[in-house]
A and B are shown apart, each in its own frame.
Chain A
């Protein structure tokens, strides 16, 4: 009878550890690189450039997905997802710069045309 009690107690302890183990499946991931890239994309005006804005949005969604994966204990997947988010944000930066370069080139060409027209 005493042995039965010990077995029941041990069983409870095992179940309790199991539950505790499931509850603490959340893992920490380093989001610094991806969030920095998102901030940088916002600073260079990615929200104002349609194509850049699209990738910026994907980057933000990627970070949220990574957070969810980390909450589920999927550390490897979460880190991989953060790399995706980072690459989206970096692409948004490149496209923002590209848009600015295009605008500058167009303006420079316009200046030349105007100068040539006014001095014909």
Chain B
């Protein structure tokens, strides 16, 4: 009976000693966890050498634990193994970020090249459109008998075609002529236009000046209504100040009553 009792005590003590000896220190628990985390992540694929170092360090710590579970050596080796596993994980994360940066830089270069290519195509297209517009304008101006002068290309419209005598409202028939002019001008919206109103010398100078200004404004408004930018078109009443023919004859006065559209050369 005594020997049975002794046997049980021995077993319990042995279990107790066994249990307490097998309890790993916190450092080893941490190292095991860190290694598991690193090995399940990208480390195996991206930084296998670093993961291997962590594995070796953990194996050394485990061996030390088996030999001397409670020693500072075991705790320190486990601590170092933990850090090596964390380093492997950190390096794997770095590799992921570097790959992402590399891909983004490549994407950036591709996107930039595409933009440059598109810009080249757009530029070529715009050049060909500009040339087409310039050709269209040239053809239209020939048709409108535009004269090249120092102040620019000048289209002269007879006053009798556009306005009734002493009036500044456009006649219905004037619209056809102005539509033709506007269509030609719309090909070069970027060029400055000056509309000048001229009269003959009959009547008071101030009256003629007002009439000329109002007529120039009427033509300006019409061309704007056809789509020409308002900030690129200006009206100016000249009155009787710049005749192109003799005001003593009926034919000369008719020629002097006119509207000139000056297309800036620049």
Of A1-9, A21-29, A77-85, the segment with at least 4 beta carbons within 8 Å of chain B is: A77-85
Question: Can you list 24 contacts pairing A with B, beta carbon distance less than 8 Å?
Answer: A55-B83, A80-B76, A81-B76, A83-B80, A84-B79, A84-B80, A87-B79, A87-B83, A87-B84, A87-B87, A88-B83, A90-B83, A91-B87, A94-B94, A98-B90, A98-B91, A102-B93, A104-B97, A104-B98, A108-B100, A108-B104, A112-B108, A115-B112, A116-B111
A105 touches B108 (CB 8 A): no
B245 at the interface (CB under 8 A from A): no
B257 at the interface (CB under 8 A from A): no
A33 at the interface (CB under 8 A from B): no
Q: Which 7 A-B pairs have the closest CB atoms?
A: A108-B104, A87-B83, A101-B97, A105-B101, A80-B76, A94-B90, A105-B100
Query: Which residues of B sit under 8 angstroms from A84, Cβ to Cβ?
Result: 76, 79-80, 83
Name the interface residues of B60-107: CB closer than 8 Å to any CB of A.
72-73, 76, 79-80, 83-84, 86-87, 90-91, 93-94, 97-98, 100-101, 104-105, 107
* 4 more A-B residue pairs beyond the given contacts A84-B79, A111-B104, with a C-beta to C-beta distance below 8 A: A55-B83, A81-B76, A98-B91, A108-B104
Q: Which bracket fits the contact residues of A?
A: 20 to 34
B111 touches A91 (CB 8 A): no
B115 touches A94 (CB 8 A): no
Name the interface residues of A52-96: CB closer than 8 Å to any CB of B.
55, 76-77, 80-81, 83-84, 87-88, 90-91, 94-95
CA distance A104 to B97 in the complex (A): 8
Q: Which residue of chain A has its CB nearest to the CB of B90?
A: A94
A30 at the interface (CB under 8 A from B): no
Of the residues B79, B86, B97, contact of A105 by C-beta under 8 Å: B97
B72 touches A80 (CB 8 A): yes
Query: Which residues of B sit under 8 angstroms from A111, Cβ to Cβ?
Result: 104, 108
Q: Which residue of chain A has its CB nearest to the CB of B110?
A: A112
Q: Which residue of chain A has its CB nearest to the CB of B84?
A: A87
A16 at the interface (CB under 8 A from B): no
Query: Which residues of A sit under 8 angstroms from B90, Cβ to Cβ?
Result: 91, 94-95, 98
A109 at the interface (CB under 8 A from B): yes
CA distance A95 to B101 in the complex (A): 17
CA distance A105 to B93 in the complex (A): 12
Q: Which residue of chain B has its CB nearest to the CB of A104?
A: B101
Query: Which residues of A sit under 8 angstroms from B86, Cβ to Cβ?
Result: 91, 94
A97 at the interface (CB under 8 A from B): yes
Q: Which residue of chain A has its CB nearest to the CB of B119?
A: A119
A110 to chain B minimum Cβ distance, whole angstroms, is: 9
B1 to chain A minimum Cβ distance, whole angstroms, is: 49
B40 to chain A minimum Cβ distance, whole angstroms, is: 18
A22 to chain B minimum Cβ distance, whole angstroms, is: 22
Query: Which residues of A sit under 8 angstroms from B97, Cβ to Cβ?
Result: 98, 101-102, 104-105
A109 touches B104 (CB 8 A): yes
A108 to chain B minimum Cβ distance, whole angstroms, is: 4
Query: Which residues of A sit under 8 angstroms from B72, Cβ to Cβ?
Result: 77, 80
